[in-house]
Amino acid sequence: METRDGDDLDGRRLTRRALIAGGLQAMAFGVIGVRLFQLQVVEGQRLRVLADGNRVNVRPLLPRRGRILDRSGRVLASNVERFRVWIRPGDRSRMRSSLQRLAPLIGLSDSDINGLVEKARAQPRNRALLVRSGVDFQTIAQIGLRAPELPGVETDVAFDRAYAYGVATGHVVGHIGGVDRPAMDDEAFLRLPDARVGKTGVELGLERDLRGEAGQTRIEVDARGDLVRVIAESEPVSGRDVILTIDAGLQQRVLDRLSSEVRAAAVVLDVETGEVAVMASVPSYDPNALTLHFDEADFARMERDPHKPLVNRAIAGLYPPGSTFKMVTALAALEAGVITTNERVACSGAFAFAGETFKCWNRGGHGSVDLADAIRKSCDVYFYELAERLGVDRIAAMAKTLGLGQTYACGLGGQKDGLIPTTGWKLAVKGERWLRGETILAGIGQGFVLTTPLQLAVMTARLATGRAVVPTLVRMDGGPRGPGSLFPPLPIAAAGLDAVRRAMIGAVHAPDGTGGNAALDVGDVLIAGKTGTSQVWSSARQPAPRDDRYELRDHALFVSFFPAASPRYAVSLVVEHGGSGGQTAAPLVRDIARLVLAEAALAAVPVVESGR
Amino acid sequence: MRPMATAAGGLRVLSGLPRTHWAVLALVSLLCGIGIATLYSVEGGSFQPWAERHGLRFLVGLACILVMLTVPAAVWFRLAVPAYLTALFLLVLVPVLGSQVLGARRWLDFGFVSFQPGELMKVALVLMLAAYYHWLPRERVSDALWVALPVLLIAIPAVFTLRQPDLGSALLYAITGFGIMFLAGVSALYFAGAAVALAAALPLIWSSLHDYQRRRIEVFLDPGSDPLGAGYHIQQSKIALGSGGVSGTGYMKGSQSQLDFLPEKHTDFIFTMFAEEWGFAGAVGLLALQAALIFVLWRIMMTAGSLFAQVLAAGAALTIFLYAVVNAAMVTGLVPVVGVPMPFVSYGGTSMLSLMAALGLALSAAADRGFGASGRPWNGRRSGV
């Protein structure tokens, strides 16, 4: 190998110095390694105890959930205390001896004890294990007294939700459940396994009021996780009690009446205050089955049930309103000036438009009809003509004015919007141009139009009062709003509203009205109403299938307000696949009206003070 | 340079890359991967806000290295003086324009980018010394004048950083710089003299230190004196390490770290966090990876074709070594808390990129076998061929 003196010298010097520097580096790594060995292996045990020993635990204290009451103070949802016994394992022998002393108090078998000890093996030793839930208070007190000989045993209280009226108020009150996916910005206590939040109904809609605020206790714990001392404690703030506008008794009676049907929903509104007096959905469910007496199989069965008992049809059932929508079309036409109350339209039983034929329900035709005739007899052709003159957007505007196609901040979670179609909606959602034939269907509440029973009740209340009634389930300050705070009037001419109201009285009380079955047989109370029979399967353009399967039958609807002279209540009712509105829905509304009036008469009786 | 030529050159360079180079890239990737996993655990199982950005920076750094590999060593050689002067200029600018973070002015904010010029200087200084010794004739290495010059090159930035105040970086400049001088063959007598002078000057240095620096050293000597104050970091770090034991508490299960007893666990104390969750075995494994990286760089230094590449490799190795060892020594309570990251694992953009740049320079210069063949490489056996 050829070498040069200088380079050789440099090369050797570098190798020497590189070895020295490398050696120093290796030594430094060695020192660190020894230090780690000392800290992690030799002193590990001692430092681990230190790590556990200086631990401060923050334990959230769950707030008590607010109660839910009905309008007369009956408790619909309340909290039931459930005492629980826990054990913090510590070491295995301590755990076993504690459990053996605990056994006679709460009745633990040897296999229970073995099972718990096995379980403790699979988890951190300072995490508490549930021993028994639902222990009575005397036993809890005894455990407290004997605490010194039961190291590691802890007791606490959890709250279960009980729904006193069960099925009757199931959908309105709703139920609570575990937190599905706690978000990071949620309050910390929601991440606890015991935390419960509203899932449906008022429990969901008024969650903020009902929930309350968690407290917390900062405690110092020792290496086993046992309490050493409480450092600081802040009490939880209980949730607010909520008083609802519904009447549990009336609700129960209406639901009983409705249970003759397979699937149905009804809403009764106080037209002056917007208070929801009854909200019924059939089939109903017992929320206790989802909380107090939770049963996995029961829940699965309810979820699978084709009649969907967990769905509140009054707010989440979407139905074409059918002929109950005709008041909307009528008022839109009167406001737009495309018709007068006196103008007559000839009904031959069918309406020809752009090469298509739209049939009237009465194939024989209604002859020459004016507005009152058309609403009373529910003539389809008259409204086809109005719809064609109006265009869908003006119909939609009136539908919105009357409260359709929207949800209300009434305290209920899970409301559906429904659908009031417009040309803009179709372009935006379906990307297609609006067809004029679709306007004709919309004019009689078919085609794309979808509403909920709550919306139909609001529509009826607005027709009855001419005011922008907004429904509510929460009773304000325990009483109805005063006369000074009526809802603002709707921008609709009084004459038109009057004509429509008179026609609705005719629909029930005139001999040729379609809603005759709703007429009350008590007193001289007049009822105003409108039938609706909405087609599920076919549009008016296609003949209904010859099939009589349940799912293909028409929905039966009825909307009504009464007493017609000075309206107090608005009712909407849908019987899913119930057949005809006049045959199925009208009699049910009559019975509901009777129940409501009876209840009102009862409430109107002045309470006699019992003091003598 | 035309882009096409660069791309073609890049491919050629990559295909001819020695095995040592691949080893460096693999080890760095492994360490960054550990960093990402640990940062994910720091946030209790979230890529936000640390892990994702750490990974992004790693990819940017890796791309930089690959681009740097295509640049001939002569370019880096010519860049040495301008780079050093620029870094020095920015360092001087910090007290004037810098923004204050936690009581220390270390950052320059240019609106679109903010960084610590101190980190830039670490790369520039190594580059400067590499160029210097490459240029300096062999026989003059130990001449007084030619020893004084590099000492000045090291001392000027060190003094400026010390005044920021950033004791950690100042020491790092000094140790890396003098380490390079030692490897370059400067007579041992100078080092012996410096050691004596340092011992004599210790009281003077002590009096010139900032209060917090003195406090740290005091607390370090007796951590129990202030368990909830300055000693808290060290104490909690030790407890966390102990809690990890031999096999660790398990990934994402470090009780000390997850329960927030540990401070700065995404930056300076990330090694503690890792060591708690992976135990003694994991901690030793991580340090072994760092040691392996340094060893490979040492190999590159021994076999590089030019003095320039050798000094750059030595500089990169020394920087990584100092970071890793000082960080580990700091969290295990062996040295005072000085704020040095665990290379490639700690979260921090500037330190990651400056380390990547140092590696890129060393790998690039070492890959250019043509550069400096006529120069005076340290290793005579290779130059003679």
Given an 8 Å threshold on Cβ–Cβ distance, is A33 in contact with B259?
no
- In tens, the pLDDT along A60-71 reads 788 889 999 998
Q: How far apart are the first and last CA of chain B?
A: 31
Distance from the Cα of A231 to chain B's closest Cα (Å) equals: 17
Q: What is the DSSP string of A446-475?
A: -TT-BB-HHHHHHHHHHHHHSB----BSB-
Amino acid B383: pLDDT = 36
For A216, the token pair is 């917390």
> Measuring CA to CA, how many Å separate A330 from each of A385, A429, A500, B100?
11, 27, 8, 73
Mutation choice for B interface testing from A39, A54, A224 by most B CBs within 10 A: A39
Q: Is A33 on the interface with B (CB under 8 A)?
A: yes
Q: What is the mean pLDDT of chain A?
A: 84
Give the best-scoring range by mean pLDDT among A230-239, B90-99, B367-376. A230-239
Q: How far, in Å, CA of A289 to CA of A117, rounded?
A: 32
Tokens of B385: 């061929």
Do A36 and B275 lie within an 8 Å CB cutoff? yes
Cα-based angle B362, B367, B369 (whole degrees, multiple of 5): 120
Give Cα A320 to chain centroid, integer Å.
Answer: 21
Please indicate whether, in this complex, the C-beta atoms of A47 and B246 are within 8 angstroms of each other: no
Sequence-separated contacts (24+) of A419-427 with Cβ below 8 Å: A419/A318, A419/A448, A419/A449, A419/A450, A420/A396, A420/A449, A421/A392, A421/A396, A421/A447, A421/A448, A421/A449, A422/A392, A422/A393, A422/A396, A423/A392, A423/A393, A424/A393
- Chain B contact present for A36, CB below 8 A: yes
**A1–B contact, CB cutoff 8 A:** yes
Structure tokens at A489: 């009037």
Find chain A residues with C-beta within 8 A of B383's C-beta.
4, 7
Summarised one tens digit per residue, pLDDT across range A267-289 is 999 998 899 999 999 898 888 88
Q: Which of A520-529, B175-184, B202-211 has the lowest mean pLDDT?
A: B202-211
- pLDDT score recorded for residue B237: 82
CB atoms within 10 A of CB A434: 20
**A516 compared with B62, residue with greater pLDDT:** B62
ipTM for this prediction? 0.87
**B255–A22 C-beta distance less than 8 A:** no
The mean-pLDDT minimum among A542-556, B59-73, B183-197 falls in: A542-556
Tell me how far the alpha carbon of residue B308 is from its chain's centroid.
Answer: 19
A183 touches chain B (CB under 8 A): no
* B47, B220, B378, B385: best to mutate for the A interface, most A CBs within 10 A: B378
Please classify residue A13 by burial: count the beta carbons closer than 10 Å to its beta carbon, then call 0-12 exposed, 13-18 middle and 19+ buried.
middle
Q: Residue A204: how many CA atoms within 13 Å on its side-chain side? A: 16
Residues of A in Cβ contact (< 8 Å) with B376? 6-7, 10
Task: Nearest by CB to B255, from A6, A37, A51: name it.
Answer: A51
Average pLDDT over residues B84-98: 83
- Per-residue pLDDT of A297-312, as tens digits, reads 888 888 888 888 889 9
Binary contact (A13, B381; C-beta < 8 A): no
Confidence of residue A539 (pLDDT cuts 50, 70, 90): very low
Q: Which residues of A124-136 are buried (b: 16+ CB within 10 A; e: fewer)?
A: ebbebbebbeebe
- Kindly report the nearest CA distance between residue B36 and chain A, in angstroms: 22
Domains belonging to chain A, first-starting first, are 57-243 (3.90.1310.10), 248-299+312-604 (3.40.710.10)
- For the beta carbon of residue B40, count every other beta carbon within 10 angstroms: 20
Does A5 score more than 50 pLDDT? Answer: no
Asked if A17 has any chain B CB less than 8 Å from its own CB, the reply is yes
Please, which residues bridge with residue A347 across strands?
A367
A89 or A606, greater pLDDT: A89
* Residue of B179, B321, B332 with shortest CB distance to A35: B332
Residue of A nearest to B328 (CA): A32
* pLDDT-derived band at B253, boundaries 50, 70, 90: confident
CB-closest option in A26, A40, A52 to B245: A40
In chain A, which residue's Cα lies nearest the Cα of B318?
A25
- Measured CA to CA, the distance from residue A277 to residue A72 in angstroms comes to 12
- Tell me which of B239, B274, B311 to substitute to probe the interface with A (most A C-beta atoms closer than 10 Å): B239
Q: Check if A430 contacts B (Cβ < 8 Å).
A: no
Q: Which residue of A15, A26, A32 is in closest CB contact with B332?
A: A32
Contact B242 A14 (CB under 8 A): no
> Bigger pLDDT: A13 or A207?
A207
Question: CA–CA separation, A517 vs A68, rounded Å?
Answer: 37
Q: Find chain B residues with C-beta within 8 A of A55's C-beta.
A: 255, 259
* Cβ-defined contact of B241 to A40 (cutoff 8 Å): yes
Top residue of B180, B284, B318, B327 to mutate, by most chain A CBs within 10 Å, is B284
Q: Is A348 on the interface with B (CB under 8 A)?
A: no
Averaged pLDDT, A519-542? 76
Tell me how close the Cα of A13 comes to any Cα of chain B, in angstroms.
Answer: 7
Query: Which of A292, A187, A174, A186 has its CA nearest to residue A242?
Result: A174
| Percent of chain B topping pLDDT 90 | 42
Verify whether the Cβ–Cβ distance B242 to A36 is below 8 Å.
Answer: no
Note whether A7 contacts B325, CB cutoff 8 Å: no
pLDDT, position B149: 94
Residue A478 has pLDDT above 50, yes or no: no
Task: Quote the minimal CA–CA distance from A115 to chain B in Å.
Answer: 25
pLDDT of residue A608: 40
Average pLDDT of span B135-140: 87
Q: How are beta strands A242-243 and A68-69 bridged, if at all? A: parallel
> What residue ranges do the domains of chain B occupy?
3-383
pLDDT digits (tens, 9 = 90+) for B25-68: 999 999 999 999 999 988 777 887 889 999 999 999 999 999 99
Q: What is the pLDDT of residue B127?
A: 95
Cβ-Cβ contacts under 8 Å, B273 against chain A: none
Whether residues A18 and B379 touch (CB distance < 8 A) is answered with no
**Average pLDDT in chain B:** 82
Distance from CA of A1 to the nearest CA of B (A): 8
Interchain CB contact of A53 with B (< 8 Å)? no
Q: Which of A16, A35, A38, A40 to mutate to test the interface with B (most CBs of B within 10 A)?
A: A40
Distance CA A556, CA A216 (A): 54
